[in-house]
């Protein structure tokens, strides 16, 4: 979901961006105006997230999935040990990708016994000192499972923040690298953001293509080739909106209140259930099931008729999932809550 306000700005300037007489998609990415637009997005992200100066911000293509491969290409040599925590489907994909790259992949914790409804407790796993990094998925988008702590480790900490970046403040200095596909909380698809500590760049395997090499991309301000210009432009508008609405501290308060109100509704009902451990509940993605799954189709149909859309759970798990990203308002969540209460009254 994107803020309507942002879409309206984009709409208003679509055919004449900054007096150019054309859209932002038609100007040269090497021109002064677009270079400034990209620099503005980076500066705003740095300021919003308090990114320390010794970190590079990269705007890359290939989505978060591209980073599943690019991270080991950049941070390891053949035969190295890497460590992963497996809390669900996105962790599993990251692990699978690392396994293609001649690495000793150690999965230090795998939450399969809870059907991926938990995060491993802090201190319940030991990170090998020889590991090139420890990777975890800060928020499992499909399972709605989110870490409630930042793992402590002496090796570089790497995290997939695709579905939780910008949802609240985060201490970047605890990480070696965080990355995120843009399409959940940052803007449209087509862009991945990588925030990487400078000393971890410049060590890519010699076989790494330039466009996947962090050092090469950093040296060219992420413009070694043509960037996804519209996505970058819209990212800048979204970041301006986050700033206008009070930054990440205010965003975190709103997101916590939104999530709390929906979890309370689910927990107080006999008709709805959320399977995730209390300490691992996501602020962004809230899966829930109906006591009688044969009513799922009716629930979705009636919800849609009221403008409550995209509530079907991921095709791999079924049930329902409310993704309440930054742009979702408390009013939107309240509309879902009253629909849920009404549906349970009539059909429960
Ligand atoms: C959506 C998502 C991805 C995949 O993102 P793409 O940009 O489609 O590659 C990876 N990790 C998480 C946590 C996600 O939510």
Strand 139-140 versus strand 81-86 pairing type: unpaired
> pLDDT tens across 129-151, in order?
999 999 999 999 999 999 999 99
Beta 272-273 vs 285-290: how paired, if at all?
antiparallel
Give the neighbor-by-neighbor strand order of the sheet with 272-273: 272-273, 285-290, 320-323
Can you tell me which residue has the tokens 């309206």?
A: 8
β-pair type (157-160, 145-146): unpaired
Active site residue 160: yes
Whether the Cβ atoms of residue 118 and residue 145 lie closer than 8 Å to each other = yes
Q: How far apart are CA 253 and CA 188, in angstroms?
A: 24
- Centre of ligand 1 to C-alpha 162, Å, is 6
Q: Whose CA is nearest to atom 2 of ligand 1?
A: 162
Instruction: Tell me, yes or no, if 258 is annotated catalytic.
Output: no
Q: Tell me which DSSP letter residue 312 carries.
A: B
| Mean pLDDT to the nearest integer, 80-91 | 98
Provide mean pLDDT across the span 287-294: 96
Domains of the chain (ranges; CATH) run: 4-244 (3.40.640.10), 247-347 (3.90.1150.10)
Q: What is the pLDDT of residue 159?
A: 98
Which atom of ligand 1 lies closest to the CA of 90?
11
Pairing of strands 157-160, 177-181: parallel
**pLDDT over 90 (residue 202):** yes
18 alpha carbon – ligand 1 mean position (Å): 32
Q: Does residue 163 line the site of ligand 1, with CB under 6 A? A: yes
Interval 17-71: pLDDT, tens: 999 999 999 999 999 999 999 999 999 999 999 999 999 999 999 999 999 999 9
- Sign of dihedral through CA atoms 313, 319, 320, 325? negative
Q: What is the pLDDT of residue 108?
A: 98
Residue 154 is predicted with a pLDDT of 96
* Cβ of residue 65 lying under 6 Å from some atom of ligand 1: yes
Tokens for 92?
């599993």
Res 316 pLDDT > 90? no
Is 162 a pocket residue for ligand 1 (Cβ < 6 Å)? yes
* Residue 109 pLDDT: 98
Note the pLDDT of residue 318. Answer: 84
270 CA to centre of ligand 1 in angstroms: 33
Is pLDDT above 90 for 178?
Answer: yes
Q: What percent of the chain has pLDDT over 70?
A: 100
The CA distance from 329 to 348, in Å, is 27
122: left (phi over 0), alpha (psi -120 to 50) or beta: beta
Does ligand 1 lie within 6 Å of residue 117's CB atom? no
**The predicted structure's pLDDT at residue 315:** 82
Q: Which two tokens stand for residue 295?
A: 């009513």
Dist. CA 80 → ligand 1 center (Å): 25
């Amino acid at each position: 979901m994107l803020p309507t306000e942002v879409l309206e700005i984009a709409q208003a300037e679509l055919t004449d961006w900054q007096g150019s007489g054309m859209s932002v998609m038609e100007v040269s990415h090497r021109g002064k105006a677009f270079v400034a637009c990209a620099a503005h997005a980076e500066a705003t992200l740095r300021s919003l997230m308090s990114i320390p100066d010794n970190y590079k911000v990269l705007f890359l293509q290939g989505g978060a999935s591209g980073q599943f491969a690019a991270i080991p290409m950049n941070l390891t040599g053949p035969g190295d040990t890497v460590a992963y925590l497996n809390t669900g489907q996105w962790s599993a994909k990251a692990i699978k990708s690392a396994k293609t790259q001649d690495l000793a992949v150690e999965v230090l914790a795998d939450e399969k016994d809870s059907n991926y409804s938990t995060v491993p407790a802090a201190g319940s796993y030991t990170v090998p000192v020889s590991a090139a990094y420890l990777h975890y998925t800060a928020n499992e988008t499909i399972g709605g499972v989110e870490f409630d702590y930042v793992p402590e480790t002496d090796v570089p900490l790497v995290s997939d923040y695709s579905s939780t970046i910008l949802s609240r403040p985060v201490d970047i200095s605890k990480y070696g690298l965080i990355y995120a596909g843009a399409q959940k909380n940052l803007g449209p698809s087509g862009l991945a953001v990588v925030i990487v500590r400078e000393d971890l760049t410049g060590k890519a395997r010699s076989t790494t293509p330039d466009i996947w090499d962090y050092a090469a991309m950093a040296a060219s301000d992420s413009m070694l080739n043509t960037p996804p210009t519209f996505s970058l432009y819209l990212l800048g508008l979204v970041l301006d909106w986050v700033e206008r609405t009070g930054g990440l501290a205010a965003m975190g308060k709103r997101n916590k209140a939104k999530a709390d109100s929906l979890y309370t509704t689910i927990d107080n009902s006999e008709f709805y259930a959320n399977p995730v451990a209390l300490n691992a509940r996501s602020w962004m993605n809230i899966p829930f099931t109906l006591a009688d799954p044969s009513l799922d189709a009716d629930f979705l149909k009636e919800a849609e008729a009221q403008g409550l859309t995209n509530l079907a759970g991921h095709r791999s798990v079924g049930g329902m999932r409310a993704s309440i990203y930054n742009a979702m308002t408390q009013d939107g969540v309240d509309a879902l809550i009253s629909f849920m209460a009404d549906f349970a009254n009539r059909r429960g």
